[in-house]
């Protein structure tokens, strides 16, 4: 059997293959109109299509459908009087004093939102059951409007789903794709629950068609899909809850970063994934950070996902002069077409062009020499741009890099300093095609002591998918004061969730010995609007106070608290491939040295060694500045940094102590 991790990106589709005897990687150009085409081509060109495959795939189908608003024609059924729920949302606004703020753009037009005369109370009592004849009337309207998929979210159905189940039974025979809120998100807060259910319904038909084609090509039991929570699930499970795949690609990167860092001896890391369009950062304090409050394309999504912060700063980010005459970089991107100027067609100056001018890319060995870069073309366009600012070409290039680095530095501060963590206590694990060129600079800015650039950094997201477990999340709102509910009662309330989790993992093929069930509570001080998630332990109150103090710099141990939600994380432990090791050698890396080239840092020129990464061996030692070239990524060892190669081929960079 060959295990395959596949990450579909905007430009390339990445493959990582593990067979019983070896590991190898492959890349092909993506096919956005039908991502499955690139997957089939890559498997065919890699010569494994005839093999028995176990595929774990990070899909962008749901993400792109949501961002581009190209999902299903959608209808919405809710309790009468709440038909405007998705359009009104909450009273909070991103721009409080902007009277011209853009109107909310919900997924479902108002004329396709229907109210049913029913009522469930917050304690679960049914005050008014659903009338079947009323549902029949709504069905006729939905069919007339050509609705393909329906989101059902009735008031307080998290407490008692009986009315939602009745509506579901009435709709099933009519061929609609159906998403019902108590199965997608069994928690209170009607707007967030309705929004999450609507997103699920919006992408469900597309995912159904896409996964059906993929399974037809690769085999029904061969395909697993990466989820936003850092775990994979069978294609069958992804069909049931496609909303869980919205951020599957970046999630694979964080999983890969955590596992690679652990193998290198680092348990506390900041993952830094810089691609062509954007940069994704996440903090792992021994465990991956997760959140249940996120916004995708201006739509609330309330499901457990890896806490990833994204900024529009990548290799293709475009430099421009704003109305105040200042140099800006991004979030606009040159993309893959036309791409950076040095690719041969673009005409907008980008971060990649700046790196090339500064000697941080080798124009003759890009993508292993398969793709030629044009430095003189980049220099010509940058010279025209530099004149407008009264700068030299090299000054402009360094300015572009500084601006881009500042954007990425702010992103790292958001997920570290602003959440009570000191970046100096972590290692920076850098990956993505462009990450290794900026990692040392960011570490210096943030005083991070160690930078790790893993082997095959450009395909780490695909590798992370192969290193993931199967993970399913379950939740239930209870809204009880801690003083009014005992540990025994909480244990009893957990039982239905635990039983459901165990059954679902057994359906995924896991034996009892490979199942782990973790319990958590969402807790808040009474009177607060939002809660913190803590492990379910007898001392959960003390843990809540500790976490509250770290996040908000205060805690009130005498103030009563409320248990809002129960959460269960169900983990099916998969059989993971071991990370390959490289040959060992002494500190001299001379055998891997290709040449010397001019590099520029902080206004100063250096003669730097250039190394072929595939020739480096464990124990080799490099002194910066240096350039390390790999097939799918480039790493820069900055001035003042030293680098050693560990047994897995990772580059471990540390800053030398300054002599007095």
pLDDT band at 660 (very low <50, low <70, confident <90, very high): very low
Query: E-strand spans in 337-398?
Result: none
Is there a domain that residue 537 lies in? Answer: yes
Task: Identify whether residues 613 and 547 lie together within a single domain.
Answer: no
Residue 426 within any structural domain of the chain: no
| Domain co-membership, 542 together with 616 | no
What confidence score (pLDDT) does residue 255 get? 95
Say how far apart CA 467 and CA 16 lie, in whole Å.
11
Q: What is the pLDDT of residues 261-273, one digit of tens each?
A: 999 999 999 999 9
pLDDT confidence tier of residue 297, bands split at 50, 70 and 90: confident
Average pLDDT over residues 468-492: 95
Residues in Cβ contact with 549 at an 8 Å cutoff, skipping those fewer than 6 apart: 555
pLDDT of residue 94: 72
Is residue 629 included in any domain, yes or no? yes
- Which pLDDT does position 420 carry in this prediction? 86
Is residue 240 domain-resident? no
Asked whether residue 44 falls in the same domain as residue 83, the answer is no
Claim to verify: residue 73 and residue 195 sit in the same structural domain: yes
Model confidence at 298, in pLDDT bands (50, 70, 90)?
A: confident
75 and 200 in a common domain? yes
In a domain, 550, yes or no: yes
Q: What is the pLDDT at residue 659?
A: 47
Mean pLDDT calculated for residue range 530-540: 95
Choose the final residue of a domain: 207, 236, 257.
207
Examine the domain organization and report whether 54 and 142 are in the same domain: no
- Whether residues 196 and 82 share a domain: the answer is yes
CB-based contact 637:653 (threshold 8 Å): yes
> Where among 163, 193, 223 does a domain terminate?
223
Residue 448 lies in a domain: no
What mean pLDDT, rounded, does the chain reach? 92
What is 558-589 written as a DSSP string?
TS-EEEEEEEEEEEE---PPPPP-PPB--S--
Query: Lowest-pLDDT range, 337-346, 419-428, 533-542?
Result: 337-346
Q: Report whether 7 contacts 42 (CB < 8 A).
A: no
Each residue's pLDDT tens digit, 111-161: 999 999 999 999 999 999 999 999 999 999 999 999 999 999 999 999 999
Check whether residue 219 and residue 203 sit in a common domain.
no
Task: With respect to residue 216, please indicate whether it lies within any of the assigned structural domains.
Answer: yes
Among candidate residues 172, 207, 242, the one where a domain is terminated = 207
Domain harbouring 212, CATH code: 3.30.420.40
Region 102-113: what's the mean pLDDT? 87
- Structure tokens given for 477: 């709102």
Question: Whose CA is closest to 256, among 211, 292, 226, 234?
Answer: 226
pLDDT above 90: residue 67: no
Report residue 250's pLDDT band, with 50, 70 and 90 as the boundaries: confident
What pTM does this model have?
0.88
Residues 30 and 148 in one domain: no
Q: What is the pLDDT of residues 193-237, one digit of tens each?
A: 999 999 999 999 999 999 999 988 888 778 999 999 999 999 988
Residue 192 and residue 378: Cα distance in Å, rounded? 47
DSSP letter for each residue of 508-556: TT--GGGEEEEEEEEEEETT-S--EEEE--TTHHHHHHHHHHHHHS---
Cis peptide before 338 (omega within 30 of 0): yes
Question: Is residue 288, in this structure, part of any structural domain at all?
Answer: no
**Number of domains present in the structure of the chain:** 4
Q: What is the pLDDT of residues 83-95, one digit of tens each?
A: 999 998 887 777 7
Query: Residue 36 — very low, low, confident or very high, per pLDDT cuts 50/70/90?
Result: confident
What CATH number did the domain enclosing 550 receive?
A: 3.30.1490
In a shared domain, residues 213 and 198: no
CA distance 208 to 151: 16
Paired with 28 in beta bridges are: 13
* φ/ψ of residue 533, rounded to 5: -95, 125
Full domain range(s) for residue 503: 470-572
Residues 2-13 have pLDDT tens digits of 999 999 876 678
CATH number for the domain spanning 150: value is 3.40.1360
One domain for residues 98 and 8:
no
Query: Would you put residue 286 in left (φ > 0), alpha (ψ -120 to 50) or beta?
Result: left
Do residues 148 and 212 share a domain? Answer: no
């Amino acid at each position: 059997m060959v295990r395959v991790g596949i990450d579909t990106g905007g430009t390339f589709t990445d493959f990582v293959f593990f067979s019983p005897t070896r590991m190898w990687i492959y890349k092909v150009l993506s096919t956005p109109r039908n991502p499955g085409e690139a997957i089939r081509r890559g498997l065919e060109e890699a010569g494994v299509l005839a093999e028995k495959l176990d595929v774990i795939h990070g899909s962008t189908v749901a993400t792109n459908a949501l961002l581009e608003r190209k999902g299903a024609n959608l209808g919405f059924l809710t309790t009468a009087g709440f038909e405007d729920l998705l359009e009104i949302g909450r009273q909070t606004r991103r721009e409080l004093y902007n009277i011209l703020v853009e109107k909310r753009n919900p997924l479902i037009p108002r004329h396709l939102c229907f109210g049913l005369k029913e009522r469930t109370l917050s304690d679960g009592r049914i005050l008014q059951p659903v009338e079947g004849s009323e549902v029949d009337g709504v069905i006729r309207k939905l069919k007339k409007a050509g609705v393909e998929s329906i989101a059902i979210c009735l008031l307080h159905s998290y407490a008692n789903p009986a009315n939602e189940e009745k509506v579901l039974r009435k709709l099933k025979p009519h061929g609609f794709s159906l998403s019902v809120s108590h199965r997608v998100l069994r928690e209170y807060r009607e707007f967030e629950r309705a929004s999450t259910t609507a997103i699920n319904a919006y992408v469900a038909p597309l995912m159904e068609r896409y996964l059906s084609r993929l399974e037809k090509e690769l085999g029904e039991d061969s395909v697993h899909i990466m989820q936003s929570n850092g775990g994979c699930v069978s294609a069958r499970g992804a069909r049931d809850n496609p909303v869980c795949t919205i951020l599957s690609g970046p999630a694979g990167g964080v999983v890969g970063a955590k596992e690679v860092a652990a193998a290198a001896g680092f348990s506390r890391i900041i993952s830094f994934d810089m691609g062509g369009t954007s940069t994704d950062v996440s903090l792992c304090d021994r465990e991956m950070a997760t959140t249940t409050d996120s916004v995708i394309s201006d739509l609330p999504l309330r499901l457990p996902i890896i806490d990833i912060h994204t900024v529009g700063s990548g290799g293709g980010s475009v430099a421009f002069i704003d109305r105040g005459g200042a140099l800006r970089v991004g979030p606009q991107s040159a993309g893959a077409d036309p791409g950076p100027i040095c690719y041969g067609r673009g005409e907008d100056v980008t971060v990649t062009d700046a790196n090339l001018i500064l000697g941080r890319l080798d124009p003759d060995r890009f993508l292993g020499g398969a793709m030629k870069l044009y430095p003189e073309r980049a220099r010509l366009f940058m010279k025209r741009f530099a004149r407008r600012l009264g700068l030299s070409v090299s000054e402009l290039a360094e300015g572009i890099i500084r601006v881009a680095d500042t954007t990425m530095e702010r992103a790292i501060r958001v997920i570290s300093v602003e959440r009570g963590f000191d970046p100096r206590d972590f290692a920076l694990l850098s990956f993505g095609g462009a990450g290794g060129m900026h990692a040392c600079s960011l570490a210096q800015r943030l005083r991070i002591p160690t930078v790790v650039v893993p082997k095959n950094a450009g395909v780490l997201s695909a590798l992370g998918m192969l290193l993931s477990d199967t993970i399913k999340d379950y939740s239930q709102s209870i809204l009880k004061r801690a003083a009014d509910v005992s540990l025994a009662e909480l244990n009893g309330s957990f039982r239905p969730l635990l039983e459901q989790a165990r059954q679902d993992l057994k359906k995924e093929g896991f034996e009892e010995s490979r199942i782990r069930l973790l319990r958590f509570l969402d807790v808040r001080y009474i009177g607060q609007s939002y809660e913190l998630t803590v492990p379910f332990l007898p001392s959960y109150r003390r843990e809540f106070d500790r976490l509250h103090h770290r996040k908000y710099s205060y805690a009130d141990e005498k103030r009563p608290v409320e248990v809002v939600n129960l959460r269960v994380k169900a983990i099916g432990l998969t059989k993971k491939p071991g990370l390959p090791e490289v040959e060992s050698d002494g500190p001299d890396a001379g055998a891997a040295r290709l040449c010397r080239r001019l590099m520029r840092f902080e206004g100063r020129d250096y003669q730097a060694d250039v190394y072929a990464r595939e020739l480096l061996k464990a124990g080799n030692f490099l002194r910066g500045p240096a350039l390390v070239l790999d097939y799918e990524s480039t790493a820069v060892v900055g001035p003042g940094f030293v680098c050693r190669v560990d047994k897995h081929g990772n580059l471990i960079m540390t800053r030398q102590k300054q002599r007095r």
